[in-house]
Structure 1
Amino acid sequence: MFPFKNNITLDRKSNRNLYLQLCDQIIGFIKSGKLGPSTKLPGSRKLSEDLNIHRKTVISAYEELISQGWIETFPAKGTFITSTLPVVKPTDFDNNNRIKNQKQQSGFSFKSRPDLNPDLNNYSNEQLLKVNDGSPDYRLAPIEEITRVYRNIIKKAHHKKLLTYGSAYGNPELRKALVAYLNQTRGLNVSEENILITRGSQMGIYLAGQLLLSSGKRIVVGNTNYMTADNTFKDAGGIIERIPVDQNGINTIALEKLCTSKKIEAVYVTSHHHHPTTVTLSAERRMHLLQLAQQQRFAIIEDDYDYDFHYSNAPILPLASNDYKGNVVYIGGFTKIIAPAIRIGYLVAPKDFIEEATKLRKIIDRQGDSLLEQTLARMITTGDIQRHCQKVLKMYKARRDLFCLLLKEKFDNYFDFEIPKGGMAVWVRLNNKYNWDDLVAESKKLNLELNPEWRRYDNVNSGHNSIRLGFASLNEEEIQLVIQRLEIAFKNIS
């Protein structure tokens, strides 16, 4: 008979009842093949003595196993593993009765995407001082305001309907609030039927890529570009064509020349602050790009990820504000304004495109967080979001000024950069005498993390030797610490 006494371990301190622990382990033995169909189990008295537990615990376990169909009882014969269960080839166990190498390798085939990298960031090490590539400071998020509005909404009886299924287009109140907000702040001329609420900007990029691209269709991006967008378009089957980027943004003359030889379906542009270089697309090129889109009938995917953070002057209105022919798919969100965990964005486009995007969104994500969307709608309507944006804008500007001042003062012989007019990061070129791998490794020894995947900024292997150094998520004290540790790192590699 199977040695139950030596193989079953019960934890009396566990929150799970003893009889359920016993059930779990017997089921595990059945699934692993250790207990085959029709195997006789010990009587309740014998098993209770072996395991030093009350007989009623064993009886309760057996009753539960009978109700689930794992075992069966025959009068005057005893209790047995159900005879109709399939025979399982026994599997080796380690000393803790756990299956060796459990769930390390799939037992089935599936589609692999080797070009897409997993998230390699270490989020658990709180002691590590991190310089990201341009994220907001989550510590500045208006948590009290969000909590207050959220609580007020959920307390109202008529808002309980938000707990059921809603529109795949997004919360109606948020779409309505966004119409006024976007028309006023970005100069758009849209209605609710032009807006789809998404889970952040990335969902908008994905939906646009899936609708516009398929095998062999071309999309144009800058020769430096947001790597995640590149991966999204490749995954959709698109062919990426690259054009130069200079101090005035993507080169639209090069784009026009490209259009004479190849059919272009779309152009992806981060017009306000080009990712990764932070440059702003000039007015002349904005007009030219819109003219080309109308002439060549291609779509412009305008990813306006940090529109609100422009420091030198008022934000420059997006391409979408001058789109009168329906060529621009405008994407934005509240991740940069509030915090990365607030996954609410929007896709703005002609009605027919929004309808198709909503069909696609519905099969990958039935709907968003209706309660949070209602909360955000209320905060936009009352001006809470706008006031918070103005508050952090001043703070980020001060952080940019300090960061750039210290970079210039301490590392003029090492770094070459332009002070960004907006955004949350500085595009820094390292003197060719030095290597980012060495600097990243040396900084890590000092508990300072620079982006270890710095090569992702060089999509075409041009050797520009540049990366983005984010300043917005660092307070003034942390900026000083970053500079101090960088000084030591440079001394160690020089």
Structure 2
Amino acid sequence: MSSPVEIPFKSVVRIDRFSGTPVYLQIARQMINAIQRGVLVTGAKLPGTRAMAETLEVHRKTVVAAYNELDAQGWIELLPNKGTFVTHKFPVTTANPIPFNAEDLVSYPQRAGFQFRQSMLLDRPVSVSRAELEFTDGLPDVRLAPLNKLSKAYSSVLNRNNNRKYLGYAHVEGNEYFRIKLASYLNNTRGLHIGKENIITTRGIQMGIYLASMLLIEKGDKVVVGNLSYYVANMIFQQAGANILSVPVDEQGISVEAVRKLCASNQIRMLYITPHHHYPTTVTLSAERRMELLKLSVEYGFVILEDDHDYDFHYHSSPVLPLASADGAGMVVYVGSFCKALAPGLRSGYIVAPENLIAELGKLRHIIDRQGDLMMEQALAELLDEGEIQRHIKKAQKVYHQRRDLLSDLLVNNFSQYLSFKSPPGGLAIWTEWRKDINLMRISKACLKQNLHLPQTLLFQTGQLSAMRLGFGNLNEQELKESVGILKNVIETNI
């Protein structure tokens, strides 16, 4: 047995007097940690309570309480007339404590001790910045969100006894009342003809794309996307095992003729589109091409995954209705959310599809997110029923319209010799194409030094293209002017 003198308990146990954890529990937990990591081996004799108290500079009663805790949990055994020992029940047989660094006892492993698959497909260039100003890829201004009304609605939902059922487990495709109100809202705003049975709720659009991909795509399936396309969706498709084929995108949206040619020589499983405002170029898919794509999907049997990420914001005529509104053959899976309409952090999304597909998607979603946030969905349903969300979107649309016009004017007045762009009819971002001799990554780094963040994900630079997607939704008028001023200064300095 090890002598208690041989074990450096002062290093094994480090007491934090400012911690909210009682000192006796700190001692007990750190000794358990030392036993688990082989520093205190099976059969090691522990000092008596007085000696340990002197070593750790605590009251003897504290050590007694710590030993009692260790004994109650089965880590030590008290042998009459012999002393206190690390229990013999453990399979550790080392005669002496292993060499150790005291820091190892309070650290977590930096790397896994086993092999696992690592996917470069899921690598995403995310840069976090503390800069006060930032161009996003089209995020809304959370300062405009109706948080007071939402918090009141949510508090009211929590306080009603008849809503306690939402605090338990449920086997549903989302809050039924929310799906009823959401179906009515989508029918009124998007020309759909659905009921609650055609909706499953999600935690945003990305989850909707993921669920649809995991269910509908097999390894080796071919998925068609626009060139350029939404990089997150592309990663999801590849993770599902798909081979991605790209087709050109022009001022009328994705090329139907290119899709038709691919179908003639390939078995296409899915077409992914963002027709209202194509990501990232913001162009709108023409009504004619929408109808042609629907016909092609029936003819060749491919799924149309329609991502309608910012349908709610349009600034001129009424928006072109989604393909799902004209789908009579059940070929369209429609994904949307309230993340842009309200705030990105409020992860409320949905999938619209034929009832039998929704049922199967429900099985898959139950594995990763059993039911979603039924309480929040109830609150959102009540805001929809009262028209609060609709009124907020209408007010926000006016604000974003003004911000789009302001950024458009600022770009024309400050960068006409450097870029070209078309003011988008809707959405929260402007697609700008720059002179090819301008190094956008260098511009981004220089802007960051002046308190303006231009994330790498906004930059599209190849041998044939030099472009930036500049989101204006999150910046008010003064912030837009400051941001453009910094960008102008950086460009003129670096060219």
Q: TM-score, normalised by structure 2?
A: 0.95
Q: 1:469 to 1:116 in 2, by over 3 A?
A: same
Q: Name the residue aligned to 1:77.
A: 82
CA distance, structure 2, for counterparts of residue 4 and residue 268 of structure 1: 62
What is the 5 A alignment of 1:20-419? 20-87=25-92, 93-94=100-101, 96=103, 98=105, 102-118=108-124, 120-122=126-128, 125=130, 127-419=131-423
**Letter of the structure 2 residue corresponding to residue 468 of structure 1:** R
Distance of 1:45 and 1:151 partners within structure 2: 54
One of 449, 453, 475 as aligned partner of 1:445: 449
> Kindly tell me: are residues 36 and 329 of structure 1, through their superposed partners in 2, closer, same or farther at Cα, counting changes over 3 Å?
same
Give 1:479's aligned residue.
Answer: 480
> How far apart, in 1, do the equivalents of 2:487 and 2:118 lie?
39
2:15 match: 10
Distance 1:432 1:54 in 2: 73
1:465 CA displacement: 1.0
- Give 3-state SS (helix, strand or coil) of 2:456's partner: coil
Contact 1:222 1:242 in 2 (8 A): yes
CA distance in 1, matches of 2:113, 2:380: 44
User: In 1, distance between residues paired with 2:165 and 2:244?
Assistant: 44
Q: C-alpha root-mean-square deviation of aligned residues, in Å?
A: 1.6
2: CA distance, partners of 1:465 / 1:355: 44
Deviation at 1:6, TM superposition (A): 4.7
AA partner of residue 472 (structure 1): G
SS in 1 for 2:245: strand
Q: 1:97, 1:365 → 2: CA distance?
A: 36
Matching residue's letter, 1:105? R
8 A contact 1:194–1:348 mirrored in 2: yes
Equivalent residue pairs, number:
488
Displacement after TM superposition at 1:10 (Å): 1.5
Structure 1: distance between partners of 2:214 and 2:205: 14
Identity of aligned residues (%): 44
Q: CA deviation at 1:99?
A: 5.6
Partners of 2:57 and 2:173 lie apart in 1 by 59
The 2-side partners of 1:427 and 1:326 are apart by 33
Distance in 2 between residues matched to 1:156 and 1:190, nearest whole Å: 30
Q: Distance in 2 between matches of 1:141 and 1:167?
A: 31
Unaligned runs of 5+ in 2: none
Which ranges of structure 1 fall in alignment gaps of 5 or more residues? none
Alignment deviations for residues 328-355 of structure 1 (CA, whole Å, 9 cap, x no partner): 1011000000000110101000111111
Q: CA deviation at 1:93?
A: 4.5
TM alignment of 1:417-432, pairs within 5 A: 417-432=421-436
- The question of whether the paired residues in 2 share the 8 Å contact of 1:7 and 1:97 is answered with no
Matching residue's letter, 1:227? Y
TM-score normalised to structure 1 length: 0.96
> What is the alpha-carbon distance in structure 2 between the residues aligned to residue 168 and residue 23 of structure 1?
45
Q: How far, CA to CA, are the matches of 2:458 and 2:140 in structure 1?
A: 20
Q: Do the aligned residues in 2 keep the contact of 1:32 with 1:88 (CA within 8 Å)?
A: no
Distance 1:96 1:265, change over 3 A: closer
Deviation at 1:72, TM superposition (A): 0.8
